[in-house]
A and B are shown apart, each in its own frame.
Chain A
Amino acid sequence: QSVLTQPPSASGTPGQRVTISCSGSSSNIGRNYAYWYQQLPGTAPKLLIYSNNRRPSGVSDRFSGSKSGTSASLAISGLRSEDEADYYCAAWDDTLSVVFGGGTKLTVL
């Protein structure tokens, strides 16, 4: 059971906008930044969003992050087939540990 809660799956058609939620608590997302990772099949995760809503250099502006209270969200606009992947949220927890969500498998229909 993961500390952060994500829906196990999400889907959309090409061009659509999809959002993935991540629910935490006051000890993690509520007081610390949220992060998002994209993991393509057979590869290492890739940092997608840091500090709630910032994109590393090279990450498409189709990806955006937000945070409200103890929850965070990842939005993907203009959905493409290459966006089909697993997405993980993460946060620092005040118990001095990094916690992850269970992951959301995004399918592009």
Chain B
Amino acid sequence: LQLQESGPGLVKPSETLPLTCTVSGGSITIDNYYWAWIRQPPGKGLEWIGNIYYTGTTSYSASLTGRVAIFVDTSKNQFSLMLSSVTAADTATYFCARRPYGAEFDFWGQGTVVTVSS
């Protein structure tokens, strides 16, 4: 199984950050697995953003609720992140990952660096 993030490396403040994770080597519609976004600001720790089940059921971090949305496109075997009203604090490496249960993330993408700057 492989996951690959894609999206703009640079986003302006107040705009919306769109990222996509393409899953290959396996189906995104597999039962009992969630698909997650996690980010890591430069030099800092990991932060869970949220996740989605292939049926469209989502869960989000309370600290980002209202600005974040995750979507799934089963026909393309992809899931996407939209983070609105971004600020410099959203500058980070964004990872997509598969979550079987709890806080277990067993497959990760390589990560994509996003900088918020005018």
Contact = CB atoms under 8 A, between A and B. Distances in A.
Interface of A: 2, 32-35, 37, 43-47, 50-51, 56, 88, 90-92, 95-103
A33 B103 CA distance: 8
A48 to B, nearest CB: 11
28 contacts: A2-B45, A32-B103, A33-B104, A34-B103, A35-B104, A37-B46, A44-B95, A44-B109, A44-B110, A44-B111, A45-B46, A45-B95, A47-B106, A50-B106, A56-B106, A88-B46, A90-B103, A92-B103, A95-B62, A97-B48, A97-B59, A97-B62, A98-B36, A98-B99, A98-B103, A99-B48, A100-B103, A103-B45
A97 B62 CA distance: 8
Interface in B55-104: 59, 61-62, 95, 99, 102-104
Contacts of B45: 2, 88, 100-103
Given A44-B95, A45-B46, A99 B103 contact: yes
A46 B59 CA distance: 23
B4 to A, nearest CB: 11
Contacts of A45: 46, 95, 105, 108
Interface string B18-62: 000000000000000000100000000111100000000001011
Nearest to A36: B103
Nearest to A102: B45
Contacts of B108: 44-46
B59 to A, nearest CB: 6
A72 to B, nearest CB: 11
Given A44-B110, A95-B62, A100 B105 contact: no
Of B59, B102, B111, the most chain A CB neighbours within 10 A belong to B102
B78 to A, nearest CB: 18
B95 A33 contact: no
